[in-house]
Amino acid sequence: MAISYEFDEKENIVYVTATGFLTSLDIMNYVEEWFQKINKPGVIELIDMNGVCDFLIQHSDVTKLVDRTKESVFIRPAYSVFIASNAASKKISELLKVLIRQAEWNAFFYHSKQDAINALGAIRAVLPRQ
């Protein structure tokens, strides 16, 4: 799988790493795992895209993803924080921004891991306590 993650339940953060050649299927599988294994309110995703070297995302799959994440039983992350500093990860981040806007998602994009980590403190400060 091109997407791996660890869920820190105590901190309510999912640390996600995307590597290699990323496809629509990889993203859809991750969303389904989220739905099955995490799916709780107030979770923050920290998504490191810097290991992505290329990607293939099909338009029809983007539509499926948007529809899936709008379902009422799907509890979206409170915030998704993307880290993208290389050329491929920046390009896929631009594509993901479109998807996220359509899905009405709270997301932030940073070019360095340190900037993203610094932002986590501010994000967590505005979240209600679970």
Per-residue pLDDT of the chain (130 residues; tens, 9 = 90+): 599 999 999 988 999 999 999 898 898 898 888 888 888 888 888 999 999 988 888 878 877 877 777 765 556 677 888 999 988 888 888 877 877 776 677 888 888 888 888 888 777 766 655 5
CATH of the domain at 64: 3.30.750.24
Residue of 115, 47, 51, 116 whose CA lies nearest to 89:
51
Q: The domain containing residue 63 runs over which residues?
A: 3-126
The pTM of the full predicted model, rounded to 2 decimals, is 0.81
Q: How many domains does the chain have?
A: 1
- How far CA 7 is from CA of 21, 34, 47, 89, 90, in Å, comes to 23, 10, 12, 22, 24
Query: Is residue 68 a contact partner of residue 33, using CB atoms and an 8 Å limit?
Result: no
